[in-house]
Structure 1
Amino acid sequence: MVYAMLDKATALPALLRRLSGLPMGHALDLRTYKRNRSVLIRRTDADRFHVTEEGFRREVFQVPFSDLKKLLKVLFKREFPRSTKIRVYDLGAADGQDLPTGRKVI
Structure 2
Amino acid sequence: MTSKQTSIDSVLKRMKKLKVGQCVDMRSFKRNRSVVIVCCGEDSFRVIEDGFFQEVWDNQSAEKVKRLLKTLLKKEFPRSNKIRLYTLDSYEDANVNRMAHGAGRYGETCPTKKVED
SS in 1 for 2:31: coil
Equivalent residue runs for 1:28-39 within 5 Å = 28-39=24-35
Q: Deviations over 1:6-28 (max 9, x none)?
A: 10011111211111221111111
Runs of 5+ unmatched residues, structure 2: 102-117
Q: Aligned AA for 1:6?
A: T
Structure 1 vs Structure 2 CA RMSD: 1.6
In the alignment, what sits opposite 1:56? Answer: 52
How far 1:105 sits from its partner (Å)? 5.2
Greater strand share, structure number: 1
Runs of 5+ unmatched residues, structure 1: none
Q: Aligned AA for 1:14?
A: S
* Identical aligned residues as a percent: 42
Aligned length: 100
Task: Report which structure shows greater RCO (CA 8 Å, sep ≥6).
Answer: 1
How high is the TM-score relative to the length of structure 1? 0.85
Equivalent residue runs for 1:12-27 within 5 Å = 12-27=8-23
How high is the TM-score relative to the length of structure 2? 0.78
In the alignment, what sits opposite 2:69? Answer: 72
In 1, Cα distance between the equivalents of 2:96 and 2:57?
A: 16
In 1, Cα distance between the equivalents of 2:99 and 2:50?
A: 13
